[in-house]
Chain A
Amino acid sequence: QSVLTQPPSASGTPGQRVTISCSGSSSNIGTTFVYWYQHLPGTVPKLLINRNDQRPSGVPDRFSGSKSGTSASLAISGLRSEDEADYYCAAWDDSLSGVVFGGGTRLTVL
């Protein structure tokens, strides 16, 4: 059971906007930064969102992150087939003194 809770799956059609949620607690999302990773099959994970809502260089602006209280969300607009991947949220947990990952959400582009 992961410290951060994500839905196991999400789906959408090309061009749609989808959101993936990540629920935590006051010791992680509530007080620290949230990070989002994209893990495409056969590749290494890629940092998609840094510090709640910042996109690293090279990440399309179709991807956006937000945080409110102890929850965070990743939104993908203009969905494309190449967005089909596993998405993970992560955060530092002050109580555990460690990084915690969500269980991952498999995004399917229908």
Chain B
Amino acid sequence: EVQLLESGGGLVQPGGSLRLSCAASGFTFSSYAMGWVRQAPGQGLEWVSVISRSGGNTYYADSVKGRFTISRDSSKNTLYLQMNSLRVEDTALYYCAKDLVASGYYGAFDYWGQGTLVTVSS
């Protein structure tokens, strides 16, 4: 059974940092691209970032580019999202998601974690 378990969310002040983790199990982690998608309170889904199977290709939404860094550790079957210079508008539920592909046209997220809540507030 595929499982994605996010952690690392919490309350942080504007300008602060957080690192989200997503522990994956039940599939060959190194064979698939992985991504982060967020949902702000009362808003729709917003794609944040995706990383290829190898980790060699990473992509970011313009809203987080230069502030967030996605990475993966296949030895630990874990996906990460380092979030720096956090803003109030980054407040959201952050989902970790597995893509159907290894690389190429991303966006087919077939498994999702339950999400971890990030609140940016003073």
Q: What is A's interface to B at a CB cutoff of 8 Å?
A: 2, 32-33, 35, 37, 39, 44-47, 50-51, 56, 86, 88, 90-92, 96-104
Contact = CB atoms under 8 A, between A and B. Distances in A.
Contact of A98 (B59, B108, B112, B113): B59
B114 A101 contact: no
A45 B60 contact: no
Interface of B: 35, 37, 44-47, 50, 59-62, 95, 100, 105-110, 112-115
Given A44-B112, A47-B110, A96 B62 contact: yes
A99 B50 CA distance: 8
B35 to A, nearest CB: 7
Contacts of A97: 59
Contact of B45 (A50, A96, A104): A104
Given A32-B105, A44-B115, A45-B95, A99 B110 contact: no
B44 A88 contact: yes
A47 B59 contact: no
A101 B44 contact: yes
Contact of A86 (B44, B46, B60): B44
A90 B112 contact: no
Given A35-B108, A98-B61, 8 more contacts: A32-B105, A33-B105, A37-B109, A47-B100, A47-B110, A92-B105, A96-B62, A101-B47
Contacts of A35: 107-109
30 contacts: A2-B44, A33-B105, A33-B107, A35-B108, A37-B45, A39-B45, A44-B114, A45-B45, A46-B112, A47-B108, A47-B109, A50-B108, A50-B110, A51-B108, A56-B110, A90-B45, A92-B107, A98-B47, A98-B59, A98-B62, A99-B47, A99-B50, A99-B59, A99-B107, A100-B47, A101-B44, A101-B46, A102-B44, A104-B44, A104-B45
B47 A90 contact: yes
